[in-house]
Amino acid sequence: MQIDKETFEKALLEVVDILIKKHIDLGMKASGDWINSLEVVIEDKKGIIKGNKYTEQLVFGRKNGKMPPIAPLERWVNAKFGIGGSQAKGIAFAVAKKIAKEGTEYYKQGGTDLLEVLDSKEVTDLVWKKISSLITPQIEENLIRNLQTLAV
């Protein structure tokens, strides 16, 4: 029995909704760029949830030693505090220097549990519920067909 691609994708999109809720619950949402970057890709009978490259920093933080790029921090300053222009650039530069010196708060805390939600009972139950709702009618149909064959 095979689950069609569209149904599998719909189930994974529901998993993405759970991931987005976790992202918001952790207070990580600023511009919405990360949420908007999430996509489901089905290939070779497996589902993949992809997101922005900085997902790694959301999960593990960023260690000290190297300045992060300024432009994304400018967008973050604008989204988080409503500050733009040269003032945003100045704040972004100061934040980048601090990250280079100390690392991010997520890094200092040992990372976050953002992606651990993917291993949660809620996600597992959701996926099994979707799969079983699709497979059960197919199993019933096969049983009826086999019983009819035996009755003949």
pLDDT digits (tens, 9 = 90+) for 36-46: 999 999 888 78
**123 and 50 inside one domain:** yes
**54 and 3 inside one domain:** yes
Structure tokens at 133: 């709702």
In this structure, is residue 149 part of a structural domain? no
**56 and 10 inside one domain:** yes
User: pTM of the prediction?
Assistant: 0.77
**116 and 57 inside one domain:** yes
pLDDT digits (tens, 9 = 90+) for 63-99: 999 999 999 999 999 999 999 999 999 999 999 999 9
Give me the pLDDT at residue 134, please.
67
Q: Please say whether the beta carbons of 76 and 92 come within 8 A.
A: yes
Q: Please say whether the beta carbons of 83 and 45 come within 8 A.
A: no
Structurally, the chain folds into a number of domains equal to 2
**15 and 74 inside one domain:** no
**120 and 57 inside one domain:** yes
- CA geometry: angle 59, 60, 62, nearest 5 deg: 120
Containing structural domain, residue 73: 63-103
**56 and 130 inside one domain:** yes
Give Cβ neighbours of residue 100 (< 8 Å, ≥ 6 apart): 64, 65, 66, 67, 68
